[in-house]
Each structure stands twice: as C-alpha cells, then as structure tokens.
Structure 1
C-alpha cells in the first residue's frame, strides 16, 4: 500500500516531471488536494506528487512475475513515471487504472514514483470533464472540488498470465452464474469454484476467452432482506483470485397492467436517499472504512432499502458494504458541468468514463440501475446514450434522465423519473412501458447548532420539534403516488453537505435528526405495502 505521506508541488503547463528532485510540500494520499486531511487544503489545476518505494525481495519480480502499480482513482488527467520513465497516462476522475512497471524498475532497493495531475474542474477551458457536484466556486448545491489522488494507490506482484478483474453475472432464471476472467490472454486454464459458506456448491474448469457458467442448483437469492453472498475462488494458470457474488434479478414488468420494478420475480418499491458521498474533512474520500460504511448502515437502521449514489462513483469498498448490507443502488454517471453544451471530445470522454464505471462495478449485486444523466446537466443524445448503457449492461435497469422536468425525454431506458421539491412528483405523461419513480423530493432543512456551516441552503426550513412528523408527512405523499404507478422515491438527502442543511444526518455525522425508530417503521410499512402485486388501498379500474 502506497498511501501515506508523499511530496507535493504545484505545477505549470508543460513542466517536465521533477525526477530526482525533492518537492517542498507534503500531502497525505489518498485525500483530495483541497481537503483538510490532505494537509494542502487548496485547489491546484496542475500538480506533482512524488515518493520512493521498495519492492519486497520475496516478490521475485522478473522471475516469472510482473509488478503492477494500481490507482483507485485520480481526478482527472494523470501521467505516471517510475524512475523517470513514463509508464502510463489516464483520463477519468472516477475509475481505476493500472500500469505494469516491471521494465521501469532499476537495480537496487529504492525506486522513484512521480504522478502528474491536471484537473481543471469546471474551468471553462474546453476540457469539460465529468465533475458531478464539484465547483471551483462552491455555493448552494455545488461543493468544494476533489482534485488529485483520492483513492488508494498500491503495488501488486502478479503472474505473467493473470486476471486483472472478473465479470460475474447472475442468471436467476437459469440457476447459474457466469464468470469471465478479464485482462488475460485466451487459452489459459481457468477454474471457478463457488461456495455457500464453507460448502462447495459449484465448480467448473475451462480456458480463458470463454466464460464459465456455474450451475447453482438451489440458489439463495440476494435481496435487501437477505443480502446473501456466495464466495468465489478462481484459478487462472498460477494466479489466484477470490471474490463473491449475489444471485438476484432486476427488471421492469407489467403487474396488473402497470409497469413495476421487479426484484427476483416480485414487485419491489425502491425507497432511497440521495447519497452524495462528501465528507467535511476528506471531501470525496471518507476518513476511514468505518466512516465509508456508516452512511450505508444508517440507511438500513432507518429502514431504507435503496440508495441513489448521486453523480459520484465510490471506491470498491463502498460497493462491498452495499452488497454486504443489502441496499439497492441507483448509480449515477457523474455529470458534466450544467449550462455548458459538451463538444464532440467531451461527449466521447463522458461515454468512455461511463463504460469504465459500468465495467468496473458490473459484478456488484447491489447495483440495480444506471442513471445516465441528471436533470439537464451536460445532457446530450439522451436516447442514444441510454441505449448504449443498456447494450453495455442488459442485466440492469437504465434511467435515461433523473429529473424529466428539466429536459426532453429521450424515450429510452426502463425508468421515467420526475423531481419535485418539497413534495414528491411522478412523470405526468407515463408511456405505459417504463416504470415511474420520484427521483428526488423532500429537502427538509434543519440546522443543528454547532454542526452546520455558516453559509446555508435548504429547500424548506423545518421546526426541530416537528422534524420527524414533517418527514413522515412527506412520506405519506410518496405513498399516495403509489396508486398512480410510483415504484420508488429518493429523499434528498442522507447527510448535510457543506452549505446544504437537508440531510437526515449532519455533515459531520454526529447528529441524527429524525426519530430513527419512527422513520424506520414508516419506511418498512411503505415498502411492504407498495411492494404488493395489488397495493393495499389502491383501487383498480
């Protein structure tokens, strides 16, 4: 693990990497350069990171083994040098990348690693990268940027033939799971073994280049009520990979003439919060794994069965916790800047980053929906982009635009999604094919003294004495829309963020605003009733 203290310096366009030169500042990786935890706490468009490392002798690099250098995420464009040799470059602020650095190693113990980063955020310089909520001038619903290395950096010894990832696809209808090894040449012997606890339930061997289809005779289905995960072990030549999978299906089907979201063959109402994944001390990077898990655990404690990850992509550990705890994830593609029309290059980059997001997280059972655009932000070719996402991953739902009220509907995807504040709303003109959801609503604002930023924004202010009552009243409005075909709702939001006060938790996560037991009971009752084939209290025509 190469997290920790690195040397740091601001950079200018066209500068050569500072090979062999000490940099004057220190930064704590993997916290964004603007964050308090980084130790820098300012924005730089261009920057250098530098450190040295040693390769353990018992890894025997060069003796049939290679050395990979892995980055969880760097925002936004990066160049990587080992001992002055450029080993890779990458564009994309939310996806991982790897460099084989074996040939760049030099004799002796100490190796030099330099990373150059360029992140214009929302500066109008033609780049227009996917930025989500980041802004150089944050205020209101826009937040402080998260530039530079913001996820873990690590070294890994690997066999010459090795899997760099697995794509695991459950097929509940046929009681099987497909395992594909990626990043390895065709023809290498491969064996996949599935376990239910310590019990082996399936095993199959073959050769890379052709997926393995393991029969799961009596599958235990993954759901929010029972988030059961099978263990998986894969041998690829001399390489060993461990992982897990969940057996679950998701679809939109008509039930009594109404398009419904269907989990494992049964209707399910998706009750979520808007989860933006910002932290007061680490911005995009949670201060610890316990902190990363905490927000998701609070979702479960308050009775939510879903979470909308709003225009940010989290590290793998976040998805692990969602998989393990049992939450249905709506995963947004981080949007380009609102109000700017993306050019051809920006559109191509947007779609490259979207494909990376889908490919990297395709094996998480928790993800049930890809959201390709949010409202009118950086939006283009809505119908085509949704169809492309569906082609990349036909096993999940596609929401072509969360917030139909702010743009023309592309007519594609599986979901029609309306935003309403503070009261929930559903699309007024359903097409009879796609399932309806209230993709954002609520925004009840409550400032907790000592736990709120000085600049404050909310959709509606609430009296502390009536906060829980007001929240449950809005939930009653969600319930009334179920009879009109509503399949899900996303409350804004799980935590306060910077100047926004509409969180169920304060930004520092030290205060939970509502009565948790009452809210949980209300959510569970709504999910139970709204997930019935015939919803109680609704009349059919």
Structure 2
C-alpha cells in the first residue's frame, strides 16, 4: 500500500521551518506570557501584530492600525461606575490577542475567568488626515461586552463576542490632539446561569471538546478618516449570470448617487460600470464574467464612489443552489453538483488561542488543506477575522459557517442531576439577534457556501415550537443566496436544506443505516431524509499521540480522540479506509458532502491533520490527494441526470450476493 512506505521522507518534507522575518520590536515592558506550546510564528509576532488592512471588503486610504502594546488592569464588578481615567494602568497587553493567551502578555484565565477588564491606549490622529472628516474607531471583535470611553466620555456599548462594530469618535476628540481610549470589557463565560454564544470556550467544564476561553479584544482595532456622510456598510453579491446586487448603506441613511466600477481580474481595465442610489438595492449585469470555483477562484476588484467617499471592494461571480439530480437532492455551485469536502476548522492556536499569531500563520493551515485537494472548511462555532474569509475567497474554499453556540450544559433548574439546553426566552432572543449579526457581517464573502444555525442541540430548545424553523426563515430573509444547515448533528426536525449526520469514526452519509445514539423526540433522529441534501457533518476523528514537545498536554491520559492509532502509517491507513467508505456512500447512496474532524489538534484532542503547534503534518499528502480526488470523481459520476438514474446498472452493487445501493 502507498502509505506504508517512505514515511520519513514525506514527514520530513511537511515539517514547517520557521523562516519568518520578525516584525518590529518596540522598547516596551511587554513580553510573551507563560506559554504551554508555541508555533513557528510565536517569536516573530513582535509588538506590531496584524498590520494588514483588516476589512478587505470595504477599504479606505486614510486609516491607522491601533494594534500593539496597550495597558491593562484586571477589574471587578462595579468598576464600570468609576473608570480609571488619567491613570496609567499597571500591566502591558498586546492587542489583538485575548487575555488568556500567551501572546497577550497577560496570560491565564484565573479561578473565575477574566470577567471584568480595563484596556487603555493613547490616540493620536494623523496630522495629514482631512480636518473636516470624521474619525471612526473600529473593533474587529471584543469578547463579550465592550464599553468604549474617549477622553473620559462614554462613546459606545457593544454586546457580542464575535462581531465587528464601529464608533464615530469625532465629537469626543480633543482639539490639541491628545486623546485617551479606554475600553471596559465584561466576559461572563460559564458564570452562574449565564448563557451566551461562546462556542468551545470554557473555564472549568471537563471533557476533550472544551478549550481555553478568550476574553477581551481579540481582533484588530483601527481608526479611519471618512467624510461626514460616508458608506457605513456594503452588501454585495454577484451570480453566475453576471447579475450584481449592491446595497450601499450610508451613515446618514440618505439616498445619494452611487457609482460602481468593476475591473478585469488582475487588471486596471474596466469590466463594467453602473450607478444607483444608496439605501436601496440596485442590480446590474456584467457580461461574460469568469465564474468563481474552488479550482479557479476568480475575483473582481471594485471601486465604489458615494459623494466624496471612495472605497475599494471585490466580489466573485457564483450561484449556490440545490435541486434533485436523479432523484437525489444535491448542492449546486453555478448549476453543477459540487461535493464539498473538508475539515472541521476550529481556529484555535496554542499561542494566540482565538487569534492566529499572524496572517501568514492563518494562511498556513489553508495552504496545507489546498495541497491535498480539499475544497471546503466548516468554520466550527467561531467567527474568524475578515482576512480569513478573504483568504478563502482567494484560495478557493467553500465555507460552511457555523453560528457560535450557546453554552450547552446549564444545570437543571430544579436541582436535578441533568442539564438543560436553553435557559429561556431572553437567551433565545439574544441568540437570534447575534445570528442576524453573523449573516449581515459575512454574507458578501463569495466563499460562504452555507450557514449552520445549531450544532448538536447546543442551546437548542428541546420542546416545540422548534426554533430552527423561524430561524431558517430569518437566515433566508437576510441572505437568500446561500444554503441553510438548520441543525448539524441532532436534534433534527427537518428544517433547512441539509440532513446532517454526525458519526465517529465511520461515515453514515445519506445512507439507509444510521446510529440511534443521541436520539431525541420521535421524528428528530431517523433515517436519511430524501427531501434534503445528505451531508456527513462530522466524522473521522482519528488520533495519534504527537511526538514529545508537540502537544498541549504532556500527560498521555489527557490526550485523546475518538480512535487512536499507534503510528503515522497506521493513522494514514485508517483515514484512507474511512475516506474510501465516504466515497462508496457517494457512489451507492445519497452522500453529497463530508466534514472530517479536524484541521489541527486542539489542546487535549489529538486528531488533527496537523499537530496543534503546526509543525507536523500527519497526512501522507499524495494519498490524501488521491482520496479527495476519488470523492469528487464519484460525485461527478452521479452528477449527470442520465448517469445518476442508470448508475445502478453500471456499478457492482452486491456484497456477498446482497444488492445494495442508491435510493
């Protein structure tokens, strides 16, 4: 077998060398905190992290990155009423790394977490910015509630740990140019009966699937200079027929002339121009666009002019839909059945926790996946920085974007030994609000393929009326251009576009057999639902103990997975076997996509395609490329209507004389 020989050669070839040029290192009292496990980029971060323009879909020329060394103080309940204005806070903190991370310099979650925190930094407005412009302060994400003060005045409040927000700070700035920014952060992760969207974060829950929490500022903070009337939000989509749909939202909610210019790919030659009005959608058509596919992710740069405001953006022309082919519901990209296959992508880092040490580090994971032919990632109950989605757009990844889950394990209200999934209507309403924020923030990225509302019943009401039905309608009303995975795993009441099965380690994708584990009320877990797309939402989870020095925990008892193998050769044998099973289920049944667990090891989970420190790639890349290609070839055999209906007559569908096969 291919994967049982020459292991040393290919393993050596996929071990990453740290050859990254260090960024600037200013003279400060900041230093990296106590670190459990580093990556090849840890020592190169310096004190000017993430210097790239952070919002690629709405770029302006006048901007200033505020990442770097700020001041920090651990706060207490009630401190918001007496902010420490004018004081110099005691500790350095490196923004944008969450407080629990080594790269923040603060490091450590404390016995009750980082519940209350103060951040502080001076603000200097560049002297060459137009004096009659407004100054906007932008935050990529702050977990969980942020109260923003400028020069001792309360300028803004934001709730939601995964979502960007902006503040017009012009009225609060001093004429002499000396300004102070302070941010108070409240993060109630795992506090009492608090139930908020937190994904995989935890303070003290046991088990292999919960990880170090992330508190505070964890995405880029920046200033920009804008005209007093400016573009506040841009919604942009383009389909396979060349139809471009644009909505320009203005800071004043006015109806003003907008001019859109689209350029040829990799060129300044104009492809098309159009005009419309802000505040309402307008549609125009571009002739003969090159379409966006994973293997040819063509993007078009765009300039949008609105009064005296000019922004740069981009789009890709593609259409996502579904229909029956040979009696089987299939996901379509540009009218063609595409088989989305890729890993559960958790986005955790041993040095930065939620924040990769750099854009280069973030793209490394995607580069590895692309080399083996993977065309999809399931972004698992986390939202990434905007530059992640830009990378997926550029590299050709379909993204199944999950909504970050509510805390799923509240103790029983009545003192029983069980747990409840949803605390009450207020928690449901806040989840719904933040789900809408997710859609609005990300819906213009071409790579987004589908939205996931619930993962494995976490925070999902377990008695009717089932919330996934109105939430599916909500998502479709905000974004009718994507598919909706209402429930990934269980409990499934047949809302949305996917019948999504989770099963470790073997797949059960669109098959006439299924596991009864985790079954809920009648009708919630059953055989494949032929009215929807069959998706293996999670499977695999094959693990291997990393070599010494490459794991989060040194104690083998704290390193685990759904299955463990003795060696890299054995790991590749087992993964090949499971991918072959998924291919057979595509050939024989109604499988239309698969999600492998997972991109990297994460803390106690040692089932990654790559180790947590990103230094060792477990995959025999030649074999994995062959296996992913075989999946796509099987899907292609089922993609033609004639072939799909006649395929049973072509393929040998007997096992020990028993006929098996397509529905």
> Equivalent residue for 2:478?
392
**1:99-150 Cα deviation digits (max 9, x unpaired):** 0000001121210000000001122243x11000000025511000011000
TM-score (norm 1): 0.96
Pick aligned residue for 1:150 from 199, 213, 218: 218
CA–CA separation in structure 2 for the residues paired with 1:285 and 1:203: 38
* 2:567 corresponds to 1:499: no
Higher mean Cα deviation, 17-26 or 88-97?
17-26
> Equivalent residue for 2:559?
456
Higher mean Cα deviation, 527-536 or 375-384?
527-536
CA–CA separation in structure 2 for the residues paired with 1:396 and 1:295: 25
> Equivalent residue for 1:319?
389
CA–CA separation in structure 2 for the residues paired with 1:82 and 1:277: 32
> Equivalent residue for 1:412?
495
CA–CA separation in structure 2 for the residues paired with 1:345 and 1:148: 24
> Which aligned runs of 4 or more in structure 1 are off by greater than 4 angstroms?
538-541
Deviation at 1:526, TM superposition (A): 1.2
1:197-208 correspondence to structure 2 within 5 Å: 197=265, 198=267, 199-208=269-278
> Equivalent residue for 1:41?
107
> Equivalent residue for 1:433?
531
**1:451-484 Cα deviation digits (max 9, x unpaired):** 1122212110012122212111000111122121
Pick aligned residue for 1:447 from 545, 566, 586: 545
Q: 1:356/1:228 Cα in 2 relative to 1: closer, same or farther (>3 Å)?
A: same
1:158-169 correspondence to structure 2 within 5 Å: 158-169=226-237
- Specify the SS of the correspondent of 2:455: coil
Q: 1:540/1:282 Cα in 2 relative to 1: closer, same or farther (>3 Å)?
A: closer
Higher mean Cα deviation, 443-452 or 305-314?
443-452
Deviation at 1:212, TM superposition (A): 3.0
Unaligned runs of 5+ in 1: none
Pick aligned residue for 2:200 from 127, 133, 138: 133
> Equivalent residue for 1:481?
585
Report if the CA contact (8 A) 2:147-2:154 is conserved. Answer: yes
CA–CA separation in structure 2 for the residues paired with 1:191 and 1:342: 48
> Equivalent residue for 2:88?
22
**1:330-367 Cα deviation digits (max 9, x unpaired):** 00000011123232221111111111111111111100
CA–CA separation in structure 2 for the residues paired with 1:8 and 1:258: 56
* 2:312 corresponds to 1:242: yes
1:79-478 correspondence to structure 2 within 5 Å: 79-126=147-194, 128-137=195-204, 139=206, 140-173=208-241, 175-184=242-251, 185-197=253-265, 198=267, 199-340=269-410, 341-380=422-461, 381-404=467-490, 407=491, 409-426=492-509, 428=514, 429-449=527-547, 450-452=549-551, 453-454=553-554, 455-464=558-567, 465-478=569-582
Report if the CA contact (8 A) 2:583-2:634 is conserved. Answer: no
Higher mean Cα deviation, 364-373 or 292-301?
292-301
**1:411-447 Cα deviation digits (max 9, x unpaired):** 2111110100010123652332210101000100111
CA–CA separation in structure 2 for the residues paired with 1:358 and 1:342: 24
**1:288-340 Cα deviation digits (max 9, x unpaired):** 01011111111111211110000000010000000000011000000011123
Q: 1:21/1:145 Cα in 2 relative to 1: closer, same or farther (>3 Å)?
A: same
CA–CA separation in structure 2 for the residues paired with 1:345 and 1:302: 45
Count of paired positions: 534
Unaligned runs of 5+ in 2: 1-64, 411-421, 462-466, 515-526, 654-660
User: In terms of Rg, which structure is larger?
Assistant: 2
Higher mean Cα deviation, 425-434 or 521-530?
425-434
Deviation at 1:392, TM superposition (A): 1.6
